[in-house]
A = this chain, B = another copy of it.
Amino acid sequence: MAYKMPCAGGIAERLSDIVHDESAWTEFIRSGRAKKVSLAEHENVYFEGDRADRIYEVADGAVMLYKLLPDGRRQVVEILSGGGLFGLQAGELHDCSAETLVASTLHAADRRDVEAANELQSHITRCLLEQLQILHDHTVLLGRKNAFERVATFLMRFVPLRGGAGCLGPGPDADDRVILLAMTRQEIADYLGLTIETVSRIFSEMRRRNLVAVERHDRMRICDVCGICRLTGTH
């Protein structure tokens, strides 16, 4: 069943962010109430079910949040990079496990300290709202997009200023971009709700169509950003 968009042009308007003051947060980090933690690639920060008494900010690197089903199926639910907040929970326990994708440094703060500091709330709210919006998009990806569209959408995430509401277009030169995935095929599959084989096949198909060139397993050249963008299902 196909629905009709109420007003096609509605979303075209640039999603210009409302001014956001994060100085209170920067100050909090600097003040020494947050410890710096350095982690290697694929180290875990905490597991689902652990007590949630610290919250984290990605200072450098990238972290994934994932959940496991008892039979071993895994779903990566969020990927966080610089500035992303995680570990804050409504309840007492972590609802996800957290693991670094690459070597990372985190700022770890005590939950009570953060909750007590009123001046931090607006920054936290902002971060949560951004996460929520990303999760909404990801829900559409998982619920309604096919494998090709999922991978194309995934690739577009690595190209800032392109594909979104205020996309700048291809520019005068060749429309290519080199991106660093920093994720294994398995991690990509678990993020996109696919299997490793399907992800691999889609990449191969994209290569055959000259949409991308795989320079190394985790290093790809998107030869035709606009071409990929048209295959995301979103435009």
A139 engages B136 (CB within 8 Å): no
Could you tell me the distance between the alpha carbons of A8 and B4 in the complex, rounded to whole angstroms? 46
The proximity string for A residues 194-206 relative to B, scoring 1 for CB distances below 8 Å and 0 otherwise, is 0110000000000
Task: State the number of copies, please.
Answer: 2
- Indicate whether A54 reaches chain B with its CB closer than 8 angstroms: no
Q: Given the interface contacts A4-B72, A143-B75, A186-B1, does A92 sit within 8 Å of B136 by beta carbon?
A: no
A70 neighbours in B (Cβ, 8 Å): 5, 8, 233-235
Could you tell me the distance between the alpha carbons of A75 and B13 in the complex, rounded to whole angstroms? 22
* 16 extra interface residue pairs, beta carbon distance < 8 Å, beyond A65-B136, A78-B136: A3-B68, A8-B70, A13-B93, A67-B140, A71-B233, A75-B144, A77-B136, A77-B139, A88-B129, A95-B136, A121-B122, A125-B128, A131-B132, A132-B135, A138-B139, A142-B193
Q: Which residues of A contact B (CB under 8 A)?
A: 1-8, 10-13, 15-18, 47-50, 65, 67-75, 77-78, 88-93, 95-97, 115, 118, 121-122, 124-126, 128-133, 135-140, 142-145, 186, 190, 192-193, 195-196, 233-235
